[in-house]
Amino acid sequence: MMISPASKPVRNVNDRPIGMPEIQGEAKENSALYVDTSRITDEDGIGQMALIWQRSSQRTNWENVPDQFSDTLQLDQTDVGFSYRSVISYIDGFGTRETLVSDASEIVANIDNPLQGEVVVRIYLQAMGLSRDQLVQAMGLLFALSTAALGISLQDAGRIDPGLWQISALALLPALAGMQAGRFCRGHLSERLFRRIFLCGLATLGLYIMLG
């Protein structure tokens, strides 16, 4: 019987992992996304996984989300308008670093938050003893300035594109029609009846905010 010399140790050839991380959950404000890695397998072994979240408003030029390393991402107002993905990395049993990137989530949708502060402003203006025309003018100026400030803020944050500005401009047409209708109605209402209707409107708005 003849015995051959021993071969060289069998050299490992890196086996790519099978499966991908999957993002689950509802892409909506006040909800959460989480990463499912249960379907990832690797013949070379899987070391401890490290996870980072990335986000993008256009699903290009992804940026890392700071201080978010757990498998669950809580969503709030600042996340609206962004799509998220997860990047998983680990070192396998033979020292090779593997990196897996999940598919992108849907764009995080906004939830219409209850209106805050408007009732207080209207009551304050009412308490100043302004006439009905002065009250309406003050409210119009206040809301115009606050809306403009909000639009500028959203534009700086990249949340408004030119198409939305065009739609907003078209929305001015029914607003102007409503102003003319309101001016006509005020001319046919007494001061006392106007204030009564105004206060009833405030009460209805306050009830809506509480129930909302």
Domain count for the chain, please give it. Answer: 2
**Structural tokens at position 182:** 């309101």
Residue 77: give its domain's CATH number: 2.60.40.2700
pLDDT the model gives residue 132: 66
Mark the ranges of the chain whose per-residue pLDDT is less than 50. 117, 119
pLDDT the model gives residue 125: 54
Q: Is 12 inside a domain boundary?
A: no
pLDDT the model gives residue 130: 63
Q: Does the predicted model carry a pTM greater than 0.75? A: no
Same domain, yes or no: 122 and 206: yes
Q: Is 72 inside a domain boundary?
A: yes
Q: How many whole angstroms separate alpha carbon 90 and alpha carbon 88?
A: 7
Domain extent, residue 194, equals 118-211
Q: Is 173 inside a domain boundary?
A: yes
Distance (Å) of CA 38 to CA 41, 84, 144: 8, 19, 52
pLDDT the model gives residue 104: 94
Residue among 40, 67, 33, 38 nearest 52 (CA):
67
